[in-house]
A and B are shown apart, each in its own frame.
Chain A
């Protein structure tokens, strides 16, 4: 980096660094992008002490509100505050429009794919997606064959992870079609930032996100079975695995915001294919379940027998059409990381369109030539287990040890279907406020897509930050944090 440009830097940007990654704030060292200009000026005029105080106040408010998540595999202090960064990530209106249309297209195609796969299987017969890829997927549910879901909506709630590549374009890193989480942090971050930068927020013209809960409720109600619409207002509940789940805070938060009951498996029971909840006034019928419990644990009679989180008989009631689940069972085949590679083809097949948001290049390890390439170049690639999420089961080549690579090499050779590989992406970087200064950290973006009577995207999303220096992993379970995302009105 040329020295003169550095000299331009005043606190808090004195130690701000650039590399080959796209920088969200600066188009050149010291030159902010137009939509970051106002934030840049504000930060230059702000005493670091002030920022630090705001940060402490925000942290304390998160702690007191109990906005925490649970870390698995760690006995001590399993409840942790989700770190929040005070500098907003700003997305211009035009860019958001493209994201919005790209994600709308994607969720439409993936729903058509699910309906097809669980019914006639045209796309498999036509050889667009290999049959064995779908049937060998751990999340394929035979039980869903020929079961018709209302409006053909399998995925009502989707959280898609986007990354920005060095050329400034967005690409889809992965789809989360089972039980995506994190939306409560989007709402909590917004609340904090409105307190920290009230004037800036107003002057920027940021699209509101506060109507998310209402939109979610409307999406869930759109699923309600026919019998209930004539009977009464549908009873919608949120099914949580319970207080030990990592996203428990979010479950309570959403239930409270929507004004619906938060239930655990043992609050529900099934009789004659009808689902009831156990209330102090007796049993009450349930019509729609927004379940935050994985397929495997939903019904011990149908899936995992050792599950204590589910409701015996729930799946039969679902098959009988007396209760609806969001998302549907078996959606995991469409966010399998190997099926992911075929999503552009899936979009072309059903919609006759090219994908608006591209995929990241992906190597399928079932293919012998791709596999041998990957095994030779492990130290440059990222390897992911296809059915995992949350940053578990992942190898980041450049940051790995020879031992870890060897472990993955053996795992891949044993079960090639279980893994995919991608080039190590240089995720874009955005300024974060750390130790009283602004530092560049890698970020991604997870917008939330709701599919009910129509597709709704709340303008914004969760920008996740890899707070550890140089780290590329943004997952909360792996030491990531988050920041507010401002989508501009115009």
Chain B
């Protein structure tokens, strides 16, 4: 497979995952704000922007309408939903012959749908329809991909992109939450704060799954354990890292390259997450732990880039 193609598939997948993540975060936020005081809402916006790595507005004013617009339909913001979907489509367009026709059509349809949306007051009131469309569009794309594309090398890069992006986004979201909110780990959270923790779980599509596991009693320790260390839930950090590791192993095998570094980095991170204990993590500083996960994920990303996408030609010719 061409390096450029692998690169495009990887980034296509990352951008689409990013669009889905952003859509979920804003949607959850929108629902929560209905139940909250304006002051609490402003705090949420700050955390949201931090979790999405979006800059605070220059005047420092937190205005829901403007911010929603910037994060969703603003084409000048390269991490808005519309920009992410467009970037995903542009990447796929460059490698169209590598994906199935159904995949292209699905992503193209999502792009046309997002692009035909215009922001207005009425749109904002019913924006959940839009967010649902983005999420469903992304889910549909995943389903179509899994059932129409060979699960060969190209598919593995798509997996890789999705789960690298997810690991990073989840770690950032959890990190922001834990560092900005006061909590006592092993006590059930109360009324006003309850909403914040529900918000965190819902932002990871994890509320229902959490309740099944631990009942509806929310304890920060358990929430953190579930989102960081659960091996079965698809939006947990551990699950995502396991997927990254599996994809890298498959790719190393398919390309028959001595590409130990990415596999080793991902494997180490996977092992760390598999053998971590949540009370130890909390005791020794959850924020630092999450930050280290992000760092290692970033290292794996760089290694992938260097080994598969942009290797020095001289070394290859010497072979």
Give residues in A with beta carbon < 8 Å to B: 63-66, 242-243, 248-249, 252-253, 255-256, 261-264, 266-267, 269, 271, 277-283
Q: What are 6 A-to-B residue pairs whose CB atoms are below 8 Å? A: A249-B96, A255-B97, A267-B3, A278-B311, A280-B3, A281-B254
B122 within 8 A of A: no
A283: contacting residue among B5, B90, B254, B313, CB under 8 A: B313
Residue of B nearest to A249 (CB): B96
Interface size on B, residues (CB 8 A): 31
Q: A125 to chain B: closest CB distance in Å?
A: 46
The 5 closest A-B pairs by CB, nearest first: A256-B97, A281-B255, A252-B96, A255-B97, A280-B308
Chain A hits for B39, CB < 8 A: none
In the docked arrangement, what's the CA distance between A249 and B4, Å? Answer: 18
Interface string of B82-122 (1 = CB under 8 A from A): 00000000100111110001001100110010000000000
Judging by beta carbons under 8 Å apart, are A281 and B1 in contact? yes
Q: Is B153 an interface residue (CB 8 A)?
A: yes
Q: CB within 8 A of A66: which of B1, B108, B308, B313? A: B108
Q: Could you tell me the distance between the alpha carbons of A30 and B255 in the complex, rounded to whole angstroms?
A: 66
Point out the residues of chain A lying under 8 angstroms from B6, CB to CB. Answer: 280
Cβ–Cβ < 8 Å partners of B4 in chain A: 263-264, 266-267, 278
Known contacts A269-B313, A279-B3: A243-B90 contact under CB 8 Å: yes
How long is the Cα–Cα vector from A280 to B311 in the complex, in angstroms?
9
Additional A-B contact list (15), CB under 8 Å, known A63-B112, A262-B95: A65-B104, A65-B105, A243-B94, A253-B96, A278-B3, A278-B313, A280-B1, A280-B2, A280-B3, A280-B6, A280-B309, A281-B256, A282-B255, A282-B316, A282-B319
**Residues in A whose Cβ lies below 8 Å from that of B256:** 281
- B112, B153, B317: the one contacting A271 at CB < 8 Å is B317
Tell me the smallest distance from the CB of A279 to a CB of chain B, in Å: 6
Whether B251 is near chain A, meaning CB under 8 Å from some CB there, is yes
Q: Which residues of A contact B109 (CB under 8 A)?
A: 64
Q: Once bound together, how far apart are the Cα atoms of A64 and B255, in whole Å? A: 33
Considering the complex, which residues of chain B in the window 1-24 have a beta carbon less than 8 Å from any beta carbon of chain A? 1-6
B257 within 8 A of A: yes
The answer to whether B153 touches A280 (Cβ under 8 A) is yes
**Contact A263:B2 (CB < 8 A) given known A253-B97, A256-B96, A283-B313:** yes
Pairwise interchain contact B317-A281, C-beta atoms closer than 8 A: no
Residues of chain B contacted by A243 (CB below 8 angstroms)? 90, 93-94
Residues of B within 8 A of A253 (CB): 96-97
The answer to whether B105 touches A280 (Cβ under 8 A) is no
| Nearest chain B CB to A442 CB, angstrom units | 32
| Chain B positions within 8 Å of A66 at CB level | 93, 96, 104-105, 108
Q: What residues on A are CB-neighbors of B5 within 8 Å?
A: 261
User: Hey, which chain B residues are within 8 Å of A279, CB to CB?
Assistant: 1-3
CB proximity of B20 to chain A, nearest CB, Å: 21
Most chain B CB atoms below 10 A, which of A66, A262, A267 = A66
Tell me the complex Cα distance, A63–B96, Å: 15
On chain A, the residues within 8 Å of B1 by CB distance are 279-281
Given A243-B94, A252-B96, A255-B97, the answer on whether A283 and B317 have CB atoms closer than 8 Å is yes
In the bound complex, residues from chain B placing their C-beta under 8 Å from that of A266 are: 4
Docked complex Cα distance between A23 and B174 (Å):
71
If A64-B105, A65-B104 touch, whether A281 touches B313 (CB-CB below 8 Å) is no
| Neighbouring A residues of B90 by C-beta, 8 Å | 243
Chain B residues within 8 Å of A281, by CB: 1, 254-257
User: Which of A252, A282, A283 sits near B97, CB closer than 8 Å?
Assistant: A252
Contacts of A252 in B (CB 8 A): 96-97
Q: With A and B bound together, what is the CA distance between A279 and B2 in angstroms?
A: 4
Chain A residues near B317 (CB-CB < 8 A): 271, 283
Q: Which residues of A contact B3 (CB under 8 A)?
A: 267, 278-280
Q: In whole Å, how far is B238's beta carbon from the nearest beta carbon of chain A?
A: 27
- A280–B3 Cα gap in the complex (Å)? 5
Specify the chain B residue showing the minimal Cβ separation from A257. B97
- Please give me the residue from chain A that is nearest to B257 by CB atom: A281
Instruction: Given A263-B2, A269-B313, verify A280-B96 contact (CB < 8 Å).
Output: no
Tell me the minimal C-beta distance from B255 to chain A in angstroms.
Answer: 4
Are A282 and B105 closer than 8 Å at their CB atoms? no
Q: Which of B2, B254, B311 is close to A277, meaning CB atoms less than 8 Å apart?
A: B2
Report the separation of the CA atoms of residues A64 and B104 in the bound assembly, to the nearest whole angstrom. 8
Separation of A253 and B97 alpha carbons in the complex (Å): 6
Least CB separation from A251: chain B residue = B97
Residues of A with C-beta under 8 A to B313: 269, 271, 278, 283
Residues of chain A with a CB closer than 8 A to B255's CB? 280-282
Q: Which residues of A contact B105 (CB under 8 A)?
A: 64-66
Interface residues as binary, B290-319 with A (CB distance below 8 Å gives 1, 0 otherwise): 000000000000000000110101001101
CB distance from A245 to the nearest CB of B (A): 11
Q: List chain A residues, Cβ under 8 A from B96.
A: 66, 249, 252-253, 256
Closest to A274 in B: B317
- Residues in chain B near residue A256, CB distance under 8 A: 96-97
Taken together as a complex, chains A and B put the C-alpha atoms of A242 and B173 apart, in Å, by 37
Minimum CB–CB distance from A64 to chain B (whole Å) comes to 5
- Known A-B contacts A278-B313, A282-B257; A64 and B97 likewise in contact (beta carbons under 8 Å): no
A266 to B310, CA, bound (A): 11
List B contacts of A248 (CB < 8 A). 93
A280 touches B251 (CB 8 A): yes
Which of B94, B97, B104, B313 has the most chain A CB within a 10 Å cutoff? B97
Q: CB-nearest residue of chain B relative to A282? A: B316
Residue of B nearest to A253 (CB): B97
Q: Is the CB of B97 within 8 A of A262?
A: yes
CA gap between A269 and B251 in the complex, in Å: 24
Nearest chain A residue, comparing its CB with the CB of B314 = A271
A280 surroundings in chain B (CB, below 8 A): 1-3, 6, 153, 251, 255, 257, 308-309
Q: How far is the CB of A76 from chain B (nearest CB, A)?
A: 13
Max count, chain B CB within 10 A of own CB: residue among A243, A255, A263, A282 = A282
Least CB distance from B224 to A in Å reads 37
Give the Cβ gap from A60 to chain B, nearest Cβ, in Å.
10
Q: How far is the CB of A292 from chain B (nearest CB, A)?
A: 13
CA distance A262 to B92 in the complex (A): 13
